[in-house]
Structure 1
Amino acid sequence: MAAGPWCWGTPAALALPVLLLLLLGGARRLRRGRAGARGGARGGGRALVLTAHPDDEAMFFAPALLGLRSAGAAPAVLCCSAGNYYNQGEIRKKELEQSCCVLGIPASDVTVIDHRWSRSCCGVHLRRCSIQRTDTVTTSFAVFPNPVFLFFASNSLEATGDQRSEILQNTGTCRTAPGSRDLPDDPAVEWDTQLLATLVLEHIEAKNINLVVTFDAGGVSGHANHISLYNAVRYLHSEGKLPEGCRVLVLESVNLCRKYISFLDVFISCLLPGDALFILTEEETEQAKRAMRCHRSQLLWFRRLYLRFSRYLVLNSLRLL
């Protein structure tokens, strides 16, 4: 008598739960054993995690930040916008500082760039960059194409309403109109590669960075601002502008299925080739989630689901550029 579907289906139905239990057990053992970096930073180096918005450091890079800190790489965070899409920039800066504190990153190593530009009445393009370290007051400066035109101010130069700022230089007086955001928090806007590369390189050189960690060409979520960071760092790398010995690790974007299977992706990531892999223990994963919860203004319902299911709160797989 030929075997019916039930005869064949019963062993398969019994084997599937067993296989899932084996995968779960294997993933948990790997997490407890902690696969660290296969490559990347060595102890005594200085790492920079380059993000686009406040909350990126917790949503996407917490495993790398915690892993680099454990490896003695003294990671710093450079956030290239204040996340002001819904006019919450000031709130989000404070949340970023709180999140980094949970991740063990001191405020002195957290920097937010809020870049603006305007055109002066005398035809000179004036770029303004407000660079704020979270433990200090904001410092703004204006940079003209000619190095002669360099003006530093202890307070923001940005004018509001009908107000205008006057800049007195040895070449004359320029009145500047209020600038518009040149690096806006906007999923539809690609940031200027040359401008962003200049700002990032200045920070790399000032902090003596020898490892940069940022998004890959997919930006994890496809956000245009994330992809812009990759384009800027790729430009610096391909043009040989990075300091000697400075390497770049980019965070791997994965398909939707892998993105939301949490620690089950540990097993898959360990089998695939890569240059660095940071896997958090269960305690460290809770630490990463606490950091994300510091971003209270962003905790909408779908981000609460992200907290529960995202693999980026458990592991980071990265590749060298």
Structure 2
Amino acid sequence: MMSSTDGLFESMGDLVSWCWEYATEISCQVLIALTAYVGVCVFLYYLMKHVDHRAWQLPGPPARLLLVTAHPDDEVMFFGPMIYWLTQSSQVYLLCMSIGGDMQRKEELWACAKRLGIPEANVTIMMCTELPDNPAVQWPEEIVAETVLHHVESCKIDAVVTFDKHGVSKHKNHISLYFAIASLCIEKKVPTYCKLYTLESVNIFRKYTQLLDLPVSLLTASYWYLITYQHRPYIQNAMKAHESQYVWFRKLYMIFSRYTLLNTLHEVNLLDLELDLQLDDDD
């Protein structure tokens, strides 16, 4: 005759066996789904290698584009793929709003810009005590806005690109650039011939999955720039010009970040800005 204890152990054994079978089945399904997703990513990558990208790049392309960054090395760490393509068809100007706390970084930026194909005459580095390199400091909006507007008007810039309101890494210096161009747009100070664009910030998982972010990016972005793995030495070599910053964790960043392979951009327009500000006020 079976005791109650034996029955309990038998029931627990059945439960453990069922849980194991269920977990095994779910694991197999997840593995199949992940394998299929990776396959889609690889397929899209090889497809995009043989497709003309111009339909998905900034319209024009812009004859004169102004890239506004916060620190030396931002241009290559975050905007490399876009610069690679635009230097082949446009005059690219670089406005860096700080020297990054060290005079050596000015020289490094000029060296990096040269490797990226940006003429030294097109590079401007601001040295302003009110614009410190500090992730906790939001820069004065009016100073940044006036500087950007001056460059737009003096160089007849027809497209400006900078960070979005999340600044990729939530660095307040980066975010300051977005609010500066947003203020120019809201106050209608931007010349009619000039368009404003921001680099899309993504969550940390997407940020470091590189090629695996390709399907999501292509489906959600207004404009995008993709380079191949054969072109990545162009980005790596330019980053090496920033010798003082090229430490181990930035080397890892350059290997794994999707920003070294893919840039996705969105146009800034008045309607979206007003809606965005309204939502922020509601929060």
Shorter chain as normaliser: what TM range? 0.7 to 0.9
TM-score w.r.t. the length of structure 1 is: 0.72
Partner of 1:285: 232
2:197 is paired with a residue whose SS is strand
TM-score w.r.t. the length of structure 2 is: 0.81
Partner of 2:100: 83
How far apart, in 2, do the equivalents of 1:10 and 1:207 lie? 57
Partner of 1:25: 42
Aligned ranges for residues 250-269 of structure 1 at < 5 Å? 250-269=198-217
CA RMSD of aligned residues (A): 2.2
How far apart, in 2, do the equivalents of 1:249 and 1:48 lie? 10
Check conservation: 2:38, 2:212, Cα contact below 8 A. no
How far apart, in 2, do the equivalents of 1:60 and 1:195 lie? 23
Aligned ranges for residues 96-245 of structure 1 at < 5 Å? 96-115=109-128, 181-245=129-193
Extract unaligned runs of 5+ from structure 2: 1-16, 269-283
Residue 105 of structure 2 aligns with an amino acid whose one-letter code is R
Residue in structure 2 matching 1:315, options 262, 267, 270: 262
Shift of 1:39: 5.1
After superposition, give the CA deviation of every residue in 1:295-320 in whole Å (9 maximum; x if it has no partner): 11012221111011100001111100
How far apart, in 1, do the equivalents of 2:68 and 2:199 lie? 11
Query: Once structures 1 and 2 are overlaid, which stretch shifts more, 299-308 or 252-261?
Result: 299-308
Distance 1:44-1:309 versus aligned 2 partners, 3 A rule = closer
Shift of 1:112: 0.5
Extract unaligned runs of 5+ from structure 1: 116-180
Check conservation: 1:31, 1:280, Cα contact below 8 A. no
How far apart, in 2, do the equivalents of 1:221 and 1:62 lie? 16
Residue in structure 1 matching 2:245, options 290, 294, 298: 298
Number of aligned residue pairs? 249
1:60 is paired with a residue whose SS is helix
How far apart, in 1, do the equivalents of 2:205 and 2:193 lie? 36
Check conservation: 1:41, 1:47, Cα contact below 8 A. no
How far apart, in 2, do the equivalents of 1:6 and 1:200 lie? 56
Partner of 1:145: none
Shift of 1:253: 0.5
2:244 is paired with a residue whose SS is helix
How far apart, in 2, do the equivalents of 1:14 and 1:224 lie? 39
Shift of 1:25: 2.0
Identity across the alignment (%):
38
Relative to its length, the structure with more helix (as a share) is 2
Relative to its length, the structure with more strand (as a share) is 1
After superposition, give the CA deviation of every residue in 1:74-126 in whole Å (9 maximum; x if it has no partner): 11111011111xxx2x21111111111111111111110112xxxxxxxxxxx
Check conservation: 1:37, 1:277, Cα contact below 8 A. no
